[in-house]
Amino acid sequence: MSIQLPKPIAAYFSADTFDSEAVSMCFTENAVVKDEKHTYTGVGAIKQWKIDASKKYTYTTEPFAIEEKDGKTIVSSHLAGNFPGSTVDLRYFFVLEGDKISSLEITL
């Protein structure tokens, strides 16, 4: 199933598994990411988060649903890889600011 993602979210998923620099460029300067009970604030911390995740895990992600709710764009994505509990469907709660992501929270 192919879904239409807003440009910054499409860019995030396109770069997610292999390019931490490109991922960090999808975010505003003071963006906040919440993932696995940790919070990362600012482009530098977000870039390091992706570098660390890429060192620990190899994975693929395939968005399959999108909805808008309470000012957030919620993307459901199938995630498979070499991490505990693989495979899972995750929900990505994006807040956009212009053509960048200002907030992202990833949950089960």
pTM, to two decimals: 0.94
Tell me the three state secondary structure of residue 42.
coil
Dig out the tokens for 28 from the structure. 């505003």
Dig out the tokens for 4 from the structure. 């239409």
Q: What is the pLDDT of residues 20-67, one digit of tens each?
A: 999 999 999 999 999 999 999 999 999 999 999 888 889 999 999 999
Give the burial class of 1: count Cβ atoms within 10 A of its Cβ; 0-12 exposed, 13-18 middle, 19 or more buried.
exposed
* pLDDT value at 101 more than 90: yes
CB neighbour list of residue 42: distance below 8 Å, 6 or more residues apart = 29, 30, 31
Tell me the three state secondary structure of residue 2.
coil
Dig out the tokens for 14 from the structure. 């396109």
Domain annotation for the chain: domains and CATH numbers: 7-107 (3.10.450.50)
Q: What is the pLDDT of residues 62-82, one digit of tens each?
A: 999 999 999 999 999 999 999
Phi-psi region for residue 39, left (φ > 0), alpha (ψ -120 to 50) or beta? beta
